Amino acid sequence: MRTGGIFRHAVSAAVLTLALSLAVVPSARTAEIVVVGTVGSASANLWPVFIGLNKGMFAEKDLKIDLVYVQSSAAVIQQLTAGSLDVTMSTGLVDPIRAIEKGAQIAIVRFESQSPPYALVAKPNIRSLRDLKGKVISLGGAKDITRIYVERMLAPSGIKPGEFDMVFAGATAARAAALQSGAVDAAILLPPSNFQAVANGFNELGLTADFTPELPFSGTVVGVPWANAHRAVLLRLLDAHAKAVAWFEDDRNRTEAVAMMVKASGLKADEVEKAYDFYRKGKFFEPTGRVSITRLKALMGALESLGDLPPGMDVNRLLLPGVTVVSD
């Protein structure tokens, strides 16, 4: 009997101790996982994302980024529309515009790049844009934003749509590989792939920013149901991204930023350095994330002229009230 009593007392004491210890241990906030989709593979466009991941800016906001690469801009928006992704980053803006017009429950919440940082790079024997008539050019997709850029670049040289052939590869890395293997005559490339191609003897025929300065390039797009259910998470994500852009724009971080992209892309340091300087000089990353309605309407006009958008679509359908901040 005495033994049984001691045992009961011991069990009670253990349970009490356990309960007290649980009461005083501070409850740690688990990081919110955000599934972020983007196109292809590592490129300079994703620099702020890599900075945010490497410098812990997302972690500071209790965010864990699950980065998913999808083969093309259209495909990444399809996945977002289907709910497989929460957010997309570095997404060409034409695809979400088309999807929203067709009823997709997605919205543009920030501009990441106000103008396109692409370059049109061609084989060594092709020296000018005029020489591209009848040639094969690698673009991102049949309806991709890169197609709009290339057609605008070729128009002043008298080359109309249909006077050159197109093959499609959603990611810059794939287009660069196609160009350097000789499979295509030219390709539209993002930095640092264009610098790598030029270093290998290919010719840079022009920059898209010189031909289409009024057209914006990429943005952050969200699924509206997810955004409405996770408004605070979304705002923290955008805040972390803005911090990453500010970090990129700080000269003191140049060496570290270059090292991050070298590791992520596998390209040479000097090519990545050129990409860094190009992005800094051209001020390609939008520091505030604000959406320019003027530029958005210019892009919608381009889509209307292609017959991809009905005239008079309300630009506000593209935005998320309470989150998207407009600049004009």
Partner 1 sequence: MVTIESSNPDKVGPAPRAPVHAFARVRVRGPHLAGLLSIVAGLALWEFFSRVVVANALFLAAPTQIFGAIYRLAIGGQLGPHIAISAAEFAIGYVIASLLGIVTGFVMASSEVGKRILQPWIAGLYATPTIALAPLFILWLGIGIWSKVLVVIFLVLFPVTINTEAGLRTTSARLIEMLRSFGATPRQIFFKLSLPSAMPFILAGLKLGIGRGLIGVVVAELFGSRAGLGRLISQSADAFNMPELFAGVVILAVAGIVMTAGFTWLERVLVPWTRD
Positions in the binding site for partner 1 (CB under 8 A): 72, 74, 77-78, 81, 95, 98-99, 101-104, 136, 141-144, 165-168, 181, 183, 308
Rank residues 165 and 210 by Cβ distance to partner 1 and give the closer one.
Answer: 165
Q: How far is the CB of 165 from partner 1 (least distance, A)?
A: 5
Q: How far is the CB of 99 from partner 1 (least distance, A)?
A: 5
Rank residues 99 and 291 by Cβ distance to partner 1 and give the closer one.
Answer: 99
**Cis before residue 26, ω within 30 degrees of 0?**
no
Rank residues 95 and 131 by Cβ distance to partner 1 and give the closer one.
Answer: 95
Rank residues 74 and 300 by Cβ distance to partner 1 and give the closer one.
Answer: 74
Rank residues 170 and 191 by Cβ distance to partner 1 and give the closer one.
Answer: 170
Nearest to 77 by CA among 109, 47, 42, 38: 38
- The whole-angstrom separation of Cα 328 and Cα 323 is 15
Helical H runs in 104-230? 145-154, 172-180, 193-199, 208-211, 224-229
Rank residues 72 and 114 by Cβ distance to partner 1 and give the closer one.
Answer: 72
Q: How far is the CB of 141 from partner 1 (least distance, A)?
A: 5
| Residues 225, 83 contacting (CB under 8 angstroms) | yes
| Residues 86, 223 contacting (CB under 8 angstroms) | yes
| Residues 244, 51 contacting (CB under 8 angstroms) | yes
Nearest to 189 by CA among 169, 219, 162, 210: 169
Q: How far is the CB of 83 from partner 1 (least distance, A)?
A: 11
Q: How far is the CB of 152 from partner 1 (least distance, A)?
A: 18
Q: How far is the CB of 228 from partner 1 (least distance, A)?
A: 18
Rank residues 98 and 152 by Cβ distance to partner 1 and give the closer one.
Answer: 98
Q: How far is the CB of 208 from partner 1 (least distance, A)?
A: 19
Task: Give the total residue count for the chain.
Answer: 328
| Residues 143, 74 contacting (CB under 8 angstroms) | yes
Rank residues 77 and 320 by Cβ distance to partner 1 and give the closer one.
Answer: 77
| Residues 203, 127 contacting (CB under 8 angstroms) | yes
The per-residue b/e assignment along 267-295, b for 16 or more CB within 10 angstroms, e otherwise, is beeebbbbbbebbeebebbbeebebbeeb
Q: How far is the CB of 145 from partner 1 (least distance, A)?
A: 11
> 111: Cβ–Cβ under 8 A, 6 or more apart, which residues?
216, 218, 219, 286, 289, 290, 291, 292, 295
